[in-house]
Amino acid sequence: MIVPVLLAGGSGTRLWPLSRELYPKQLLALTSEETMLQQTVRRLEQLSGVGRPIVVCTEDHRFMVAEQLRAVGVKATILIEPVGRDTAPAIAAAALEAAADGDDPLLLVLPADHLVRQVDLFAAVVASGEAVAETGGLVTFGIVPTHPETGYGYIQPGEPLNPEGGARAVVCFREKPDAASAAAYLAEGYLWNSGIFLFKASRLLAELAAFEPEMAARVAEAHAKRHLDLDFIRLDKEAFSASPARSIDYAVMERTAAAAVIPLACGWSDVGSWNALWEIGPADPEGNTLHGQVLARDSHDCYVRTSGRLVALLGVDNLVVVETADAILVARRDRVQEVKELVGELKQRGREEVLLHRRVFRPWGSYECVDTADRFQVKRIVVNPGASLSLQRHYHRAEHWVVVKGTAEVTTDGQTRLLSENESTFIPVGALHRLRNPGQIPLELIEVQSGSYLGEDDIERHEDIYNR
């Protein structure tokens, strides 16, 4: 049996301003109406003998991951890594979870934010690697390059291991090269490193114990001390935090003698930059890829995405323009790999645009900042049917609520009442209060906050059904 392991903990900073730390690219619909995570789990439908997926994600993303899986009818085990420790500890924890009932399945490790356009070919190549993995091989799938790319690592394939399945021994892994090295690698038959793996859970854990004993011990402790939280499995924070941070490549694949690589040509992209999205199109006759309200005149080979406002191009070439409600990126296409450094500078300046969009998702629904200034803030709040915010109080702000749509159940200092459309209420500073949607349609309301401090951390929770 194959147990898919979906790694969904990344932040996707190169796709800022659309991808944010609290709403990263695996949760975005970038190449279709479904998100990258949803496309990844859908891909598993083409494989045979597949068990319940294990999705590894962060604390901040857990409810969005669960909701997106529910929306496509997928039941998965969601494993929460309490801190980021790169891919090796995450995969090791998933391997321990997959083997918890005494089984020793094959693990198909998939980043949750990749694009595969030819899913049938992907499924066939994965199936061809099962025999190698069953006999102890640690299989990685190397993408057949289409051009000398400097944004990917490379794998040098060696002697054939099973000619019928296409598996070859791995000679070495190469870091992301400069342009000249990338061209040489292409000429010598190197493959792109996809980050997709297939191996038995026991073999991966044995190799990790041999090469990274401290990591293996700390992850095993974190898994042994795991506990359930609603539908999530939480790894022990103290033990997991003590693990060294390593990628699976550094920790195991570059050091093992059992590494094998199988070429894969399936219309793959890691969607790792705005230029990658331009490359996969679709493009107009001038080579522009345009999403949203865009007018392009005498402009060529540009990527433009707008979430609301009209964007007009005139006489420009090879640009990336991405518009969101609170930020706009304009960059040359050949420099979009530097967006990560740009985000780092914004983070140093304390800009919230790195973390959040104006619309922020919560397990009960969402809120969107409409306007803000000194001592006041206006939000649009949407509460899902049957959902409830925590019982809470604020020490620095009062709140005025106006119901726009649906019915609100409001509890204030022990008194509960229902509000219908066009009705309002006032929550004084320090009042213990809760908002719930008892209806069958989304509850929409406008919240006006006023006070000396309006930060999201001015919340004292007394009860919360989401265990936050």
For residues 395 and 267, what is the distance between their CA atoms, to the nearest angstrom? 54
Residues 6+ apart with CB under 8 A from 335: none
Q: Which of 241, 269, 297 is the last residue of a domain?
A: 269
Q: What are phi and psi of 269, to 5 degrees?
A: -150, 145
**pLDDT tens digit sequence for 306-326:** 998 999 999 999 999 999 999
The confidence band for 467, taking pLDDT boundaries of 50, 70 and 90, is: confident
96 shares its domain with 10: yes
Asked whether residue 60 is assigned to any structural domain, the reply reads yes
Task: Please tell me the distance from the alpha carbon of residue 120 to that of residue 401, in angstroms, as a whole number.
Answer: 52
Please indicate, yes or no, whether residues 188 and 222 belong to a single structural domain of this protein: yes
Question: Is 275 a member of any domain?
Answer: no
**What does the pLDDT read at residue 162?**
78
How many alpha carbons fall within 13 Å on the CB side of residue 164?
4
CA 40 → CA 46, 115, 138, 463, distances in Å? 11, 8, 21, 35
Instruction: Look at residue 151 in the predicted model and tell me its pLDDT.
Output: 87
Taking residues 75-80, what's their average pLDDT?
97
Instruction: Give yes or no: residues 314 and 438 share one domain.
Output: no
The CATH number of the domain where 431 resides is what? 2.60.120.10
Do residues 453 and 411 both lie within one domain? yes
- pTM for this one? 0.89
Question: 398-436 pLDDT, tens per residue?
Answer: 999 999 999 999 999 999 999 999 999 999 999 999 999
Which pair of tokens denotes residue 64? 């969005």
Chain centroid offset of residue 297 CA: 35
Residue (of 366, 399, 458) closest to 23 by Cα position: 366
Domain of residue 242, residue span: 2-269
- Number of structural domains in the chain: 3
Task: Judge if 366 and 330 occupy the same domain.
Answer: no
The kind and range of the H/E element at 124 are: helix 119-128
Residue 47's pLDDT is 94
Burial class from Cβ neighbours inside 10 Å (0-12, 13-18, 19+) for residue 468 reads exposed
Check residue 456 and give its pLDDT. 86
The three-state secondary structure class of 30 is: coil
Question: Which of 269, 298, 316 is a domain's end point?
Answer: 269
Triad 143, 148, 152: Cα angle to 5°: 55
Cβ atoms of 250 and 131 within 8 Å: the answer is: no
Residues 265 and 304 in one domain: no
Mean pLDDT (the chain) is 95
- Structural domain contains residue 302: yes
**Based on the domain organization, do 187 and 312 belong to the same domain?**
no
- State in Å, rounded, how far the first CA of the chain is from the last one: 35
Q: Are residues 195 and 329 in the same domain?
A: no
- Span 24-29, mean pLDDT? 95
Phi, psi of 434 (to 5 degrees): -150, 150
CA separation for the pair 291, 303 (Å, rounded): 8
Residue 384, in any domain of the structure: yes
- 281 found inside a domain: no
Specify the CATH number for the domain of residue 10: 3.90.550.10
Identify whether residues 136 and 222 lie together within a single domain: yes
Mean per-residue pLDDT, 38-47? 95
User: Taking 80 as the threshold, does the pLDDT of residue 444 lie above it?
Assistant: yes
Q: How many CA atoms lie within 13 A of 415 on its CB side?
A: 7
Domain contains 382: yes
Alpha carbons 48 and 6: distance in angstroms, whole number:
17
Owner of token pair 């114990």:
209
Q: Is residue 391 within 8 Å of residue 462, measured between CB atoms?
A: yes
The answer to whether position 202 is within a domain reads: yes
pLDDT tops 80 at residue 165: no
pLDDT, tens digit (0-9, with 9 covering 90-100), for 374-397? 999 999 999 999 999 999 999 999
pLDDT tens profile 147-164: 999 989 999 999 999 777
**271 to each of 36, 71, 460, how far by Cα in Å?**
9, 23, 40
Do 339 and 363 lie in one domain? The reply is no
Residues 61 and 86 in one domain: yes
| 110, part of any domain | yes
Among candidate residues 170, 168, 179, 43, the one with its CA nearest the CA of residue 118: 43
Strand (E) or helix (H) holding 209 = helix 201-211
Residue type, 71: A
Same domain, 251 and 400: no
Whose tokens are 């309490």? That residue is 82
